[in-house]
Each structure stands twice: as structure tokens, then as C-alpha cells.
Amino acid sequence: SPYLPATVVAGILMVLLVLLTGGLHLDGVADVADGLGGGRDAAARLRIMKDSRVGAMGVVALILVLLLKYQALAAFPAGERTIALLLMPAAGRWL
């Protein structure tokens, strides 16, 4: 955008992506990180993943994922950012 720095645009885009998806994917990332970080066996991991509370590993995973997404969005040149945003959902389904 000729009016805003890339870092501000990346922040706005992240907020919009969370609002559009309802944060469902971020909740899943936190649940998986909590389960893998806190469960000794498979039954314990599944029990932790089903728990609605977010633990320390979930918070760390969310921070890392959001920082990585922010940096990736800010690194795209302005012209390619729109194409990348349009192709991300398709690539996510394909992979």
C-alpha cells in the first residue's frame, strides 16, 4: 500500500484473517501444542486436547504462529501480497 507501511498492513491483515475464520485454526494449534507438550501417553494427550482451557504450551505455540504469520505477511512485496492471500486457502486445502 502506498499509504501504510508493510508492517501495519500485515497487522491489519492478521486481524481480518482471525475475524474471518473466527480463530478456529488458532484454537486447534493451541490444543495440539498443549496435548503434545503435556501428555505422557496418548490418552492423556487426547484429554488435554479436549480441555477448553489453554495451557502454557498453547500460548507459546500461538505466539510463535502469529509472529511467523506476521513476518511472512510483512515480507511479501505489496503487489504479491494480494495474490498470496488469495492463494493461501487453496494451497491449504491442497496440501
Instruction: State pLDDT tens for residues 3-41.
Output: 889 899 889 988 988 888 888 889 999 999 999 888 788
Please state, in angstroms and as integers, the Cα–Cα distance from residue 32 to each residue in 35, 49, 68, 89, following that order. Answer: 5, 6, 18, 21
Q: What is the pTM of this model?
A: 0.79
